[in-house]
Amino acid sequence: MSNGAKIAIGGVVAAVILIPFIGFWWSLLILVGVPAVGYLMLDPAQRRRLRKVGRKEIGR
């Protein structure tokens, strides 16, 4: 299993655990928002490198 898949599964588990405490919509916001904010915090060069690595892994 790849590291990305492990992180995705961990995020889903964390969101499911948070649902009873903070509600469905807040947990969904955290599940989607945290990776998006992390991506937006990268420098443009780091974003390009991340996209390049992602494309390599899927065979482009």
Residues 9-59: tens digit of each pLDDT: 888 888 888 888 888 888 888 888 888 888 888 899 998 888 888 766 665
Domain positions in the chain are 3-57
Which residues have C-beta within 8 Å of that of residue 53, sequence separation ≥ 6? Answer: none
pLDDT of residue 5: 76
Query: Token digits for 20?
Result: 């009873």
Distance CA 51, CA 39 (A): 11
3-state helix, strand, coil in the chain (%, to 5): 85, 0, 15
pLDDT of residue 43: 92
